[in-house]
Amino acid sequence: MRIIESRIERLRRIIRRKKINALLVTNIRNVRYLTGFTGSSAFALITATKALFFTDFRYTEQAGYEVTHFERVTEKGNRVRLIRNLVKEMAIGRLGFEASASYYFYEELHKAGISLAPQSGLVEKMRMIKDSVEVEKIMEAIRRAEDAFIAVKPAIRPGVAERAIGLRLESELKKRGCARAAFDIIIASGRHSSMPHAGQTEKKIERGDFVIIDWGGEADGYYSDMTRTVLMAGPEMSRKKRIYDIVNTAREKAIREAQAGMKSSEVDRAARQHISAAGYGEFFGHGTGHGIGLDVHENPRISWAGRETLADGMVFSVEPGIYVPGFGGVRIEDLVLMQGGKARTLTQLNRKLEIINGLYPNKGGRI
């Protein structure tokens, strides 16, 4: 695979610039990105001339199929001792290691007498810029998620339990080829909708409820993530419509203003300013979005603290929300791809407010 070769070469250039002799890659998503290995336990060691891949007995055979550009080693016994021996054998002076590893692991390596240089986010930074194959996988994860939602949509109505909708949505994701849902699906209705990260309960949807649906698909290890909020007909409709419109416009503005060269925090500011100007600033307490790829949450961070510079190839979510405790909440989330200097929206599902007339067509709540 040319992709794997080019990733190894790019990492080697970074390693040279950082003046370390080798990088120990322990983050399992980084391992997958660099090696192609899809299992859950492995690490890699990359030097100027060597690329070594380590996994244990459980994955030896699978790695044989998946990992083609690395010298493969089956790990046995103590990992720290294995690394210490390699560092000696290969005469590695300063070993770079990923600062995302645990302090405990660092301490063990240190005690083993290895000269260490912590490195922050080297591979993560490469992963921020997606190539066309990665974008295609994310788009497939989006298609699966959107198709699944369309199948479940008619069930989102008064009388149906949050959990019943969540179950059905997850099963529709799987039917479309997702190995798993991207994360525990959120179905938050009525009073639950003001808790941005509520789960799913046996609560049935009622008239007047906002229903936040936050879900994501998967395709070949890449994830999608999106949110829609629908409204059940009921009391106080004009205030609810207004809140929805504020969130939706905030989302639109943030996407329109995103430009290559801009700090990621500026996208957050665009959404936040609109919500604050409308008087709901205190009810939007989370960041506006996050990068996505092999992890559901990765860089860039689209928040007040975001410091990445937007660039073509980045894929991230834009998901402002307003959550009024005791009243209800709205979140609308799209995924965008930076392309030609601008943000192109990848998610397609309708974002106009849908109001569902609760005629309780099915009292049992079965879907």
Least distance to a copy of itself from the beta carbon of 194, Å?
A: 6
State the number of binding residues for a copy of itself (CB under 8 A). 44
Tell me how far apart the terminal alpha carbons of the chain are, to the nearest angstrom.
Answer: 45
> DSSP assignment, residue 203?
P
Element (H, E) at 119: strand 116-119
Cβ(119)–Cβ(22) below 8 Å: no
Per-residue interface string for the shown chain with a copy of itself, residues 124-163, x marking contact by CB under 8 A: ----------------------------------------
Question: Residue from 120, 132, 235, 364 that binds a copy of itself (CB under 8 A)?
Answer: 120
Cβ(261)–Cβ(310) below 8 Å: yes
Give the nearer residue to a copy of itself in terms of CB position, either 103 or 261.
Answer: 103
Question: Residue from 71, 184, 236, 312 that binds a copy of itself (CB under 8 A)?
Answer: 184
- Closest listed residue to residue 234, CA positions, set 323, 331, 362, 360: 360
Is residue 78 a contact residue for a copy of itself (CB under 8 A)? yes
Question: Residue from 96, 158, 159, 196 that binds a copy of itself (CB under 8 A)?
Answer: 196
Instruction: Report d(CA 156, CA 58) in Å as an integer.
Output: 43
Instruction: Report d(CA 254, CA 260) in Å as an integer.
Output: 13
305: left (phi over 0), alpha (psi -120 to 50) or beta: alpha
Is residue 99 a contact residue for a copy of itself (CB under 8 A)? yes
Least distance to a copy of itself from the beta carbon of 9, Å?
A: 26
Give the nearer residue to a copy of itself in terms of CB position, either 263 or 286.
Answer: 286
Instruction: Report d(CA 93, CA 304) in Å as an integer.
Output: 39
Cβ(291)–Cβ(303) below 8 Å: no
What residues from 51 to 70 belong to the interface with a copy of itself (CB under 8 A)? 56-62
Least distance to a copy of itself from the beta carbon of 40, Å?
A: 7
Is residue 364 a contact residue for a copy of itself (CB under 8 A)? no
The two most distant CA atoms of the chain are separated, in Å, by 74
Residue that is written with structure tokens 């849902």 in the block: 181
Is residue 85 a contact residue for a copy of itself (CB under 8 A)? no
Least distance to a copy of itself from the beta carbon of 24, Å?
A: 12
Give the nearer residue to a copy of itself in terms of CB position, either 285 or 361.
Answer: 285
Q: Is 189 exposed, middle or buried (0-12, 13-18, 19+ CB in 10 A)?
A: buried
Least distance to a copy of itself from the beta carbon of 266, Å?
A: 18
Question: Residue from 68, 100, 248, 339 that binds a copy of itself (CB under 8 A)?
Answer: 100
What residues from 208 to 227 belong to the interface with a copy of itself (CB under 8 A)? none
Instruction: Report d(CA 142, CA 138) in Å as an integer.
Output: 6
What residues from 289 to 348 belong to the interface with a copy of itself (CB under 8 A)? 305, 325
Least distance to a copy of itself from the beta carbon of 197, Å?
A: 4
Is residue 19 a contact residue for a copy of itself (CB under 8 A)? no
Q: Beginning with the edge strand found earlier in the chain, give each strand of the sheet holding 298-302 in spatial order.
A: 298-302, 289-291, 315-318, 334-339, 342-345
Q: Is 345 exposed, middle or buried (0-12, 13-18, 19+ CB in 10 A)?
A: middle
What residues from 261 to 290 belong to the interface with a copy of itself (CB under 8 A)? 285-286
Give the nearer residue to a copy of itself in terms of CB position, either 191 or 207.
Answer: 191
Is residue 107 a contact residue for a copy of itself (CB under 8 A)? yes
Is residue 195 a contact residue for a copy of itself (CB under 8 A)? yes
Instruction: Report d(CA 322, CA 189) in Å as an integer.
Output: 14
Angle between helices 2-17 and 28-35 (to 10 degrees): 120
Give the nearer residue to a copy of itself in terms of CB position, either 321 or 338.
Answer: 321
Which residues lie near a copy of itself (CB under 8 A)?
38-40, 56-62, 74, 76-78, 97, 99-107, 118, 120, 167, 170-171, 174-175, 179-180, 184, 194-199, 285-286, 305, 325
